[in-house]
Amino acid sequence: MPVLMTEIPLHTEAVIESISLPANQQRRLANHGIRLGTIVSVPRRTAGGSFIIAIGPNRVAVDRATLGGIAAQPVVAQAPSSGHVA
Amino acid sequence: MALLHRPATHSASKEEISTRCELRTIALVGPPNAGKSTLFNSLTNARRTVGNWPGTTVEVGRGVGTFRPGDGSRMTVLDLPGAYGLDPQSPDEAFTAQLLTDTDRVRPDVVVVIVDATRIAQGLYFVSQVRDLGVPAVVALTMIDVAKRRGVVIDVDKLTADIEIPVIALDPRRVRGVSALGEAIVTELETAAVDVRGSAFDASVEATDRRFLWVESILHDAVTYDHAPLTWTDRVDAVATSRVFGPLAFLVVMWSVFQATTRLAAPLQDGLSNFFTGPVASVVTSALERVGLGDSWLLGLVNDGVIAGVGMLVSFLPLMAIMFFLLAVLEDSGYLARAAVVTNRMMRAMGLPGKAFLPLIVGFGCNVPAIAATRVLGDARHRLLTALLIPFTSCSARLTVYVLIAATFFPKSAGNVVFAMYVLSIVIIVVVGYALRATLWRTMGTEPLIIELPPYQRPLARIITNITWVRVRGFLSTAGGIILATVVALWFLQSTPMPGKSEFANVDVSDSVFAAASKTVTPVFAPLGFDDWRTTGALVVGFVAKEAVISSWAQTYAIEEPMNPANPGELSAAIRSDIERSSNGNVIPAVWAFLVFLLAYTPCVATLAAQRREIGARWTAFGVAMQLGVAWILAMLVFQIGSRL
């Protein structure tokens, strides 16, 4: 079952299943590589109430509301962190 | 003043671009912070401002480059604002999109898409859009070495074959591979069809999905991902963006910048100041005496006007250069994007997105380019609010006056006083921003924080020097003329007597037109503790340019060697004496009130011109009234409360 990204433990890899945000935000996220099917993780929270999203080697900071608009399916623990990231 | 160029380059309007390109035109496009401006500088030998943070380029740069030496292949190169694609979400992105997609205009002959290998999916999405337009294109693949270290391995030959566009791997920061790119551009021009109007752009959702699928297929084929090790960027970010240490690190970084600026600049200013007030003034005086003008008003104009003005301008240079240098190091290293994240909550309290921090931090160098940098914000009301707040960022011009005042009244803790002014600047921005949000912009929504954190990189001396030089030169070319003109105009006003008093150039300053004009506004400053005409006169002059405040004092007090703010000597004593008198002995509250007023009131006419361009005359006038009101109220509170403690 996909869960909101805000509820997924830090450092857990997850596949994005749905994004419930306005179209322009979805497009902005997609520009940064955050879209359906992407494997992401949240390595840490930051000062200022934001979160870092890791997409492969890239890092994007988003606020809590944006992160809460993303639902993802956690990847099974033994899965390697390599692989294709769009 | 960052967006200034050598004669070969300049910021061009869309009309200029479409009508003035006699040569064939190359457009550099790509996501923000992909290295466009660095590549532009390499291709054209220009010195456009670059930085390792999104939104460095908010205007179009135009230059000329020769891509194949010897065969006359000179072409116009356009450096367009960063855009994630041709479906824009901010005015600077819209500009880029319109230039490439408007089929009624002649499009660039070749589009060079800069693709950052560490963010290859993002870059390929842009490539897919340019490809759909059908215009000749070349891909410049940057950061390939960084990508490899982060586990992203790109097969350039496969990539070229898959996307059917030449791909040139290069490093514009170190000028590697740039000539190969030039060759590829020339080849593309030679083989391309004559008509470059291309196809209309399809921005439908279906087309977007199709493009993402295309990107995915390319990545599957040409890119492999190794296990990405924990990079040192991740390790540094664990501290730089930490909830506890992030804000502390931000304060320490900014404190260090201002401490270094004030401490390092002082001895350099000494040398320059002494040079102008000593040898230069002596030589000019001797020369004028030899030609029989030693007793004329011309000697006063040259010594107290021109030499004082030029000397003051030059003595500012170390201060400006060190400040610009340190900010450039922060920009090029990638730290500023982290600072935007750390300050996000503060920005949101004002209804602004975290990204609004970027133009605000530029304002600490100079307010003029900061106003232009508001274009990175997508929402018009966010841009307006940010542009109204930028004048409260304490620019480096105000720094010179802080240093003089701090050295005069707080000699043992001058650095801390200067730092306090910068902290106060931030507090004023937050409070005024919050007040505006709560009153005029109650319905304004907040823009979400979505900001990319680029990998940290070691700042390169060539690039840092370049940025510093562009900004120093910008300061000299814009502020220089204003300062010199102000100093000379001031000399005339101070040399012109009121009717019935003395004669021109032989008048006591207190009987001059300048004194009379200053005295008319002086009563307004009585509740602030500095209702002395010399002090208020300096503030009036400071409306034109803050750098001219010190020269105004120097000329008003007729003190010959006033040009080193850190070692003000006689000027210090004269200012102290007047403030003691006007504040009835409450010197320290009056000094703080003066500093607060100086910080908060209108920065300079150049900033007003930039504001008028970005937000219109009506809002600019509103801004001036607000700045004067805030400055007066805060300074009054500081003096009234301070003098009662």
Q: List pLDDT tens digits, range B275-298.
A: 887 888 889 889 888 888 877 788
User: Residue A77: pLDDT above 70?
Assistant: no
Mean pLDDT of chain B: 81
* A54 strand-pairing partners: A41, A59
What's the pLDDT score for residue B560? Answer: 47
A48 interface with B at CB cutoff 8 Å:
yes
- Name the closest residue on chain A to residue B116, using Cα atoms: A58
* A40 strand-pairing partners: A14
Tokens found for residue B314 = 């030059």
Contact A48 B354 (CB under 8 A): yes
**pLDDT, tens only, B130-156:** 988 888 999 999 988 888 887 888 999
- Name the closest residue on chain B to residue A48, using Cα atoms: B345
Overall average pLDDT of the B312-318 stretch: 73
Overall average pLDDT of the B345-356 stretch: 80
Give how far B360 is from chain A: nearest CA, Å. 17
What's the pLDDT score for residue B198? Answer: 57
Give how far B367 is from chain A: nearest CA, Å. 25
The pLDDT-based confidence of A79 (bands split at 50, 70, 90) is very low
**Concatenated DSSP letters of B285-334:** HHHHHHTT-TTSHHHHIIIIIIIHHHHHHHHHHHHHHHHHHHHHHHHHHT
A81 interface with B at CB cutoff 8 Å:
yes
Contact A30 B228 (CB under 8 A): no
CA-CA distance, B399 to B414, in Å (whole number)?
A: 12
Contact A48 B212 (CB under 8 A): no
Q: Provide the 8-state DSSP code for B278.
A: I
Give how far B460 is from chain A: nearest CA, Å. 22
Task: Answer whether B553's CB lies under 8 Å from B538's CB.
Answer: yes
CA-CA distance, B347 to B451, in Å (whole number)?
A: 14
Beta strand pairing call for A50-55 and A58-63? antiparallel
A57 interface with B at CB cutoff 8 Å:
yes
User: Residue B249: pLDDT above 50?
Assistant: yes
CA-CA distance, B10 to B465, in Å (whole number)?
A: 20
* Nearest CB to A61 within list B238, B341, B345: B341
**pLDDT, tens only, B375-384:** 767 678 888 9
A30 to chain B: which residues are within 8 Å by CB? 125, 208, 212
B6 burial (CB, 10 Å; 0-12 / 13-18 / 19+) is: middle
The pLDDT-based confidence of B470 (bands split at 50, 70, 90) is confident
What's the pLDDT score for residue B162? Answer: 93
- The 10 Å Cβ neighbour count of residue B580 is 14
What's the pLDDT score for residue B233? Answer: 87
User: Residue B499: pLDDT above 70?
Assistant: yes
Strand order in the sheet with B24-29: B10-11, B61-66, B74-79, B24-29, B110-116, B137-142, B167-169
B243 interface with A at CB cutoff 8 Å:
yes
Give how far A2 is from chain B: nearest CA, Å. 22
CA-CA distance, A10 to A18, in Å (whole number)?
A: 19
**pLDDT, tens only, B58-106:** 567 788 887 776 666 788 888 888 888 887 777 777 778 888 877 666 6
User: Residue A85: pLDDT above 70?
Assistant: no
Beta-strand runs (E) in B419-506: 450-452
B430 interface with A at CB cutoff 8 Å:
no
What's the pLDDT score for residue B620? Answer: 92
* Nearest CB to B227 within list A45, A52, A81: A81
What's the pLDDT score for residue B307? Answer: 82
Q: Look up tokens 């040569």; give the residue.
A: B23
Strand order in the sheet with A70-74: A3-4, A70-74, A14-19, A39-45, A50-55, A58-63, B450-452
What's the pLDDT score for residue B174? Answer: 82
Name residues 159-178 of chain B within 8 A of A (Cβ): none
Tokens found for residue B321 = 């250069």
Task: Answer whether B399's CB lies under 8 Å from B323's CB.
Answer: yes
What's the pLDDT score for residue B468? Answer: 82
pTM of the shown model:
0.69
B105 burial (CB, 10 Å; 0-12 / 13-18 / 19+) is: middle
Task: Answer whether B358's CB lies under 8 Å from B336's CB.
Answer: yes
Tokens found for residue B318 = 């170390």
Contact B241 A81 (CB under 8 A): no
What's the pLDDT score for residue B590? Answer: 94
Name residues 216-235 of chain B within 8 A of A (Cβ): 216, 219-220, 223, 225-228, 231, 233-234
Overall average pLDDT of the B99-127 stretch: 84
Question: Does residue A20 come out as left (phi exceeding 0), alpha (psi in the -120 to 50 range) or beta?
Answer: beta
A86 to chain B: which residues are within 8 Å by CB? 121, 212, 215-216, 219
Contact B341 A29 (CB under 8 A): no
What's the pLDDT score for residue A66? Answer: 94
B246/B312: higher pLDDT = B246
Task: Choose from B116, B347, B379, B450 for mutation: most chain A CBs within 10 A.
Answer: B450
Task: Choose from B341, B346, B377, B446 for mutation: most chain A CBs within 10 A.
Answer: B341
CA-CA distance, B645 to B642, in Å (whole number)?
A: 5
**pLDDT, tens only, A16-33:** 999 999 988 888 898 888
B109/A76: higher pLDDT = B109
Beta strand pairing call for B10-11 and B24-29? unpaired
Task: Answer whether B628's CB lies under 8 Å from B601's CB.
Answer: yes
**pLDDT, tens only, B3-55:** 222 233 344 444 444 444 457 888 999 887 788 888 888 888 776 655 555 55
User: For B511-644, where are the alpha helices, taking DSSP H only?
Assistant: 513-521, 533-542, 548-557, 570-582, 587-600, 605-642
The pLDDT-based confidence of A68 (bands split at 50, 70, 90) is very high
A51/B340: higher pLDDT = A51
A84 to chain B: which residues are within 8 Å by CB? 216, 219-220, 223, 225
A26 burial (CB, 10 Å; 0-12 / 13-18 / 19+) is: middle
Task: Answer whether B487's CB lies under 8 Å from B308's CB.
Answer: yes
Task: Tally A–B CB contacts below 8 A.
Answer: 135
Q: Which sign, positive or negative, has the C-alpha torsion B84, B87, B92, B95?
A: positive
Interface predicted TM-score (ipTM)? 0.89
User: Residue B563: pLDDT above 50?
Assistant: no
Q: Look up tokens 């209702």; give the residue.
A: B531
Tokens found for residue A3 = 């869960």
Q: Nearest Cα to B536, choosing from B548, B525, B547?
A: B525
**pLDDT, tens only, B586-601:** 999 999 999 999 999 9
User: Residue B480: pLDDT above 50?
Assistant: yes
The pLDDT-based confidence of B344 (bands split at 50, 70, 90) is confident
Q: Nearest Cα to B635, choosing from B604, B602, B596, B598?
A: B596
Return the SS3 of B511: helix
The pLDDT-based confidence of B568 (bands split at 50, 70, 90) is low
A53 to chain B: which residues are within 8 Å by CB? none
**pLDDT, tens only, B254-268:** 778 767 776 787 678
**pLDDT, tens only, B218-242:** 988 998 877 666 678 888 999 999 9
- Name the closest residue on chain A to residue B149, using Cα atoms: A57
Task: Answer whether B610's CB lies under 8 Å from B575's CB.
Answer: no
- Name the closest residue on chain B to residue A65, using Cα atoms: B448
Inter-CA distances, B494 with A31, B500, B510, B515, Å? 60, 15, 8, 7
B237/B340: higher pLDDT = B237
Amino acid letter for position B448: P
